[in-house]
Amino acid sequence: MEAARNDHWAFGAFNLDDEPTLLAVARAAKKLNAPVLVEVSHGEVGDIGLNNIRDLVDNTKAEYGIEMYVNLDHSPSVQAAKAGIEAGFEFIHIDVSQADHNASDETIIAATKEVVEYAKLTGALVESEPHYFGGSSNLHTETIDYEEIKKTFSTPDGAKAFVEETGIDTFAAAIGNLHGKYPVPKVLDLELLGRIRESLSCNISLHGGSGTPGHYFKDAVKIGVSKININSDMRIAYRTTLEKALKDDPNEYSVAKLINAHVIDAVQAVVESKIADFNSTDKATLTY
């Protein structure tokens, strides 16, 4: 993360829905020699299992010889975050506001501090933010109400106070980024991002990267963002490609064959485009 910030590139943090998604990320990382994160939310942890995720990633990165880490995204409780630390996840995002959108400042700070202390067990990097981050990892039909979203934008002073109070490694900034993909492109306040960067000594991440024009990412990494999350763009590519494959080949009942033949390539193309925007091509330094 220090190298990413100093050399002006960012880790792509790509959601892992299933093994084909993991393979798409791995193949993109291998092709472009890029270090990547794969991340799982609480729901994905429930579907796959913490230890299974750890093993899948370890096996895949060894097979492909790539630099890949695991991020526990939006962990909704201290208990869940601690389980991720114990499973060996290198990145932990504690976000109790996911379970309680109206969680108090005191509750969020106390939970974050507890996870920061527990992360010393393995050296995992802890990420957090001081309030609920809106949207969902889906294809939305409503437009973006920026006047409403601006009410929850990060501020330099607020970010600095939260980082100093909690001791986190990575601050999740809110500057117009929003979970999900919408009918209109997202607009990021890069001037605000620059002021937040100047106020912090820790890493900065951007959630809700899907549906954002690439030029914002290219500027954000120049400013000093070190991690950018992508989910919806991958899911949309996965679903639309699979729907077309099923329509084109109605007599094929092995869906896995269609996924292997068509879907993985489509998702890989999305990942490759983000890696290019994040300036992380040829930035891998570790091999397995």
Catalytic residues: 73
**Rounded Cα distance, 96 and 109, in Å:** 10
Chain position carrying tokens 């942890």: 45
Q: Give the side-chain half-sphere CA count within 13 A for 90.
A: 11
- Nearest 5 degrees, angle CA 129-CA 270-CA 93? 20
Cβ atoms of residues 88 and 61 within 8 Å: no
Q: Which among 32, 44, 113, 24 is positioned nearest to 84, based on CA atoms?
A: 44
Tokens of 166: 């909690």
Q: How many CA atoms lie within 13 A of 141 on its CB side?
A: 0
State CA 288 to chain mean position distance: 23
